[in-house]
A and B are shown apart, each in its own frame.
Chain A
């Protein structure tokens, strides 16, 4: 089961104790504990989803779904993974699922427009247009975001967790339920691809 908690190193003793207490209260059905959980993790969950989806609406929807799932399945949480790891795992898997659905819908819409089943225009609207990236001098960032979105799922998750969320290699390995060398390899390939596409443009800015 990809979303189930797996073995991982806990961040540190103090944080692990705080997480364990919070989980215990959540398992007793405490609404205050759930409010604390949401307040403590909402930004991280939202940002993780946003880094994979690039739209605020979809990121918010995914973040809400993550907390709903946590509330509904916390009784089965055994503490084999840290709560933080589990939340990142839920956020990334749900965001990727949402993205796959959106891409399928987009392909279908494009297919029907090509066949003339609707009156939609044939050009594709620009994707992943981040407001900051649209400002003057931010073209490289937009270019980078475009190419991040084209990376294979695993590479994209590793790259965004490392460079946008600032997670350590071992933390990323725990989220993906893999090893640190595997994370290093994915990150190396992602960087290589991105530099190949973005670097030539950097030289002329």
Chain B
């Protein structure tokens, strides 16, 4: 009876050998003092679990939008609009003191 009946095919042997090489090369370790680096990373982020500022606030677009909304609600948004063409007949008297301040 031939031994070949009990042996895996050559391809199979080579494949198994390759799998062993693969497992051997996967035995790396992190550099020494790994815990110290994890600890340093943790202490550099004290706000992570309960952040004082919500994440969306960190996006400039949302922050700018919030600023515009607050400005609109405060009533100061009129100050940003260009002044309408002056009509002496309808101009309110309150405009007069402003003009005098500009001098």
Chain A residues with CB below 8 A from B49, complex form: 72
Chain B residues with CB below 8 A from A50, complex form: 26, 28
The answer for the CA separation of A39 and B41 in the assembled complex, in Å, is 16
**In the complex with contacts A35-B35, A38-B35, A166-B23, A202-B28 CB distance below 8 A:** no
The answer for the CA separation of A59 and B29 in the assembled complex, in Å, is 10
Chain A residues with CB below 8 A from B38, complex form: 38, 64, 67-68
Chain B residues with CB below 8 A from A195, complex form: 15
Q: Is the CB of B35 within 8 A of A47?
A: no
A146-187 interface bits toward B, Cβ cutoff 8 Å, 1 = contact, 0 = none = 000000000000001001111000000000000000000000
Chain B residues with CB below 8 A from A166, complex form: 23
Chain A residues with CB below 8 A from B26, complex form: 47, 50-51, 160, 164-165
Closest CB of chain B to A150's CB: distance in Å? 15
Interface residues of B in 33-79 (CB under 8 A from A): 34-35, 37-38, 41-42, 45, 48-49
Partner of B11, one of A43, A65, A160, A203: A203
Q: Is the CB of B22 within 8 A of A46?
A: no
Closest CB of chain A to B93's CB: distance in Å? 61
Q: Would you list the 10 A-B pairs with minimal beta carbon distance, nearest first?
A: A164-B26, A202-B14, A46-B30, A67-B38, A38-B35, A132-B25, A141-B21, A72-B49, A64-B38, A60-B30
B residues within 8 Å of A by Cβ?
11, 14-15, 18-19, 21-31, 34-35, 37-38, 41-42, 45, 48-49
